[in-house]
A and B are shown apart, each in its own frame.
Chain A
Amino acid sequence: MEYNLSVNDREKTIRIETDKENSFSTELDAAKLHVNYKRIDDYTLRLEIDNGKTKKGVSVHLVDSEGGKTIFINGVTYAVKNRDNLPVGTIRKQVSTNLPDKITPPMPATVISVLVNKNDLVQKGDGIVVISAMKMETTLTAPFNGRVISLNTSRGEKVMPGDILVDIEEEE
């Protein structure tokens, strides 16, 4: 069986051999590995990973997320995506930038101030709108160089994720 996965946007193709129940073998980063696995509960797996020299047991916690699973190991979360299930181009787009390409709040928020005017030229990273949510203020910044073509919000307005607060037209 073959999996086309990506972890934190690095792509990997992994071939596995399932020999007996609850175990598989694979080669990953030039190491031959044998994995025994067991489900503890809906969100917890126990893995025993044998690289031929040492055996290591590890508990991982995971939950389904967009395009794959979010996996918690040793205090760190890893976003593993299944590339076979994603529309072409989705991965590429996420590799290119961590920033959203729209001026929209990540959660319900209140607009504290709008820092730009219509027709302003902005540079990538410039502050565009200051919002407040859960007692914290955050500045939404320009995702690219461009020109402000419309302001769709004003001070004091309650806004939701997906609301485009300011439209910016990309300019080189």
Chain B
Amino acid sequence: MFGKILIANRGEIAVRVMKTCNEMDIPTVAVYSDADKDALHTLSADESFYLGASEPSESYLNIGKILTAAKQTNADAIHPGYGFLAENADFARECNRRGITFIGPPPDVISSLGDKTTARKIMREGRVPVIPGTTDAAKDLESIINEGDAIGWPVLIKASAGGGGKGMRIVPSREAMEDAFIAASREAASAFGDDSIYLEKLITRARHVEFQILCDSFGNAIHLLERECSIQRRHQKIIEETPSVSLTPELRDRMGSAAVRAAKASGYVNAGTVEFLLEPDGNFYFLEINTRLQVEHPITEMITGIDLVKKQIEIAAGMPLSIKQPDIAGKGHAIECRVYGEDPEHSFFPSAGKIQFLKEPTGPGIRCDSGVCTGFTVPVEYDPILAKLTAHAETRQDAINRMVKALSGFPVLGIKTNIHFLMDILTSGSFHSGQTYTDVIESEFSDWSPEKGRSETDERTALLAFIADDLLPKHKMAASTEDKPPEPWQTLGNWRIS
């Protein structure tokens, strides 16, 4: 087993990985930037290593600095978390070259699955259903119109080199193809320096269903059931649950086997996630494999009782999987909500600043993976996720109720959060009936305003609380450092003592 693990990440995921390392008695190293000197993850490790300025390129994305940190602290493995360098094949390669174990899949698997057309080819060869369409770029307008006729209109055209919606067009009919093809090629050329375009069937009303996979280096591969992640805002998942209301046991088996085939076809090792689009008629298509631990992994841990980070570490250390497919059973229902520092009243603009007060909810079946605490200043440089709240209960309805109660008792003061918005989605008719398609937020919550959820009773309570607070003697805690009289060093300005 490893002697020491460096966690090349920050926030809630760094804290979460350290918890498992502690349980396994493996010492941990945190890395941090200027903005994170007093961050929870920095204070949660056995030792911490300063990387540099707050900009990600100077800290959490800086491969050289992170490898130096590992060398100087004698860490023999690196856990990359999610985001930052987690899916960077060059980083994984560089770790391996220096004899440091990268806790994740082999570098070549990361690169081939990161390329959309290569991944589609691998999946086709592995008999995993992909969205019908062309594998290679269209030669000319005539050939792409013929492809459209073969698949059936409407279709979606995409840039081969694509990403971020650039060069992407919905084409409703063959007549509209000429204009769309020219525009998309032009856009792709200017964005990626490559004008090639390919075509896919347009999937309109779909769910996002993904399968957790675990593969060891001895060829054993299993899946740990699904997660439904259809509740998204601007393509960002905000609520995830398992099991999915849309899977029958038979469909779950078929999709699970496809996920395992996808893992094997790509030579996968370690924990990963196979994402599918699921149509209402039960047809499903491969979307991509995420070669990392997912943000939403806690719901899988809740229903299966398996610690995914522990499995990642064991697999990376060369141990075989100790569990087999028949050992995997889901118990109850789990839901995760992502709590973001953002302002729902001003088009969800990120809200950074000092957290004056925060209290994590507790109770039966409640788990809070938090990366922040009272007194911490949420930096502007990074993703605005504050914490992930997970509720586990016997049934879906119980889990919803438990989650709503937990959110209602999760005060975060000093910055704005999406807690109220999450509660309104969870209590909506569409969420209750399981009508969770990827377009649900755009179609039903686009005109959301905080006015809707405010109750007159609580409004009166707020007035009474104001008065009570005014009447009570103030025994506010000793003021924080910024309220203290400045020390001479702080008032020296630009003068330096040499």
Contacts and interface: CB of A to CB of B under 8 A. Distances in A.
Interface stretch (B71-79, B394-402, B460-468): B460-468
Interface in A129-151: 133-136, 138-139
A75 B413 contact: no
A115 interface: no
B308 to A, nearest CB: 25
Given A39-B472, A72-B411, A5 B463 contact: yes
B365 interface: no
| Chain B interface size range | 35 or more
A133 B347 CA distance: 13
Nearest to B359: A61
A86 interface: no
B413 A134 contact: no
SS class of chain A's interface: helix, strand, loop or mixed?
strand
Contacts of B419: 75
B233 to A, nearest CB: 11
Given A12-B463, A29-B460, A134-B382, A35 B352 contact: no
A168 interface: no
A71 B465 contact: yes
A14 B460 CA distance: 11
Interface in B324-374: 342-343, 345-353, 356-357, 359
Contact of A43 (B345, B357, B468): B357
A42 B357 CA distance: 9
B340 to A, nearest CB: 9
Interface string A1-41: 00101011010101010100010101011000101010100
B249 interface: no
B411 A61 contact: yes
A26 B383 CA distance: 46
A136 B342 CA distance: 10
Interface string B394-434: 00000000001001111111100001100100000000000
A136 B346 CA distance: 13
A63 B459 contact: no
A108 to B, nearest CB: 5
- Most-contacted residue by chain B among A5, A10, A68, A136 (CB, 10 A): A136
B193 interface: no
B83 to A, nearest CB: 10
B471 interface: yes
A3 B353 CA distance: 31
Nearest to B407: A75
A157 to B, nearest CB: 15
Nearest to B474: A42
A3 B471 CA distance: 11
A84 B372 CA distance: 36
Given A68-B466, A106-B346, A106-B349, A63 B461 contact: no
B464 A78 contact: no
Interface string B466-491: 11111110011100000000000000
Nearest to B413: A63
Nearest to B465: A60
- Most-contacted residue by chain A among B351, B461, B465, B477 (CB, 10 A): B465
A72 B454 CA distance: 11
Interface string A50-78: 00000000111111000011111111111
A10 B408 CA distance: 23
A16 B413 CA distance: 28
Contact of B420 (A63, A76, A80): A76
B463 A7 contact: yes
A14 B351 contact: no
- Most-contacted residue by chain A among B359, B423, B451, B466 (CB, 10 A): B466
Nearest to B466: A80
A60 B410 contact: no
A76 B467 contact: no
Nearest to B381: A134
A3 B467 contact: yes
Nearest to A28: B460
Contacts of B381: 134
A116 interface: no
Contacts of A43: 356-357, 411, 413
B483 to A, nearest CB: 12
Contacts of B450: 76
B129 interface: no
B453 interface: yes
A73 B461 contact: yes
A75 B380 contact: no
B27 interface: no
A62 B352 CA distance: 19
Contacts of A47: 461, 464-465, 468
B462 A78 contact: yes
B140 interface: no
Contacts of A134: 350, 352, 380-384
A7 B456 CA distance: 10
B471 A73 contact: no
A138 B347 contact: yes
Contact of B461 (A14, A58, A98): A58
B124 to A, nearest CB: 33
Contacts of A33: 464
Contacts of B475: 39, 42
B458 interface: yes
A34 to B, nearest CB: 10
A153 B39 CA distance: 33
22 contacts: A3-B466, A3-B470, A14-B467, A26-B467, A35-B467, A35-B468, A44-B357, A47-B468, A61-B413, A62-B466, A63-B413, A71-B462, A71-B466, A75-B420, A77-B420, A78-B454, A98-B346, A107-B380, A133-B349, A134-B384, A135-B384, A139-B347
Given A62-B466, A134-B384, 7 more contacts: A24-B468, A61-B413, A69-B465, A74-B408, A74-B409, A75-B409, A134-B383
Interface of A: 3, 5, 7-8, 10, 12, 14, 16, 18, 22, 24, 26, 28-29, 33, 35, 37, 39, 42-45, 47, 49, 58-63, 68-78, 80, 82, 98, 106-108, 133-136, 138-139
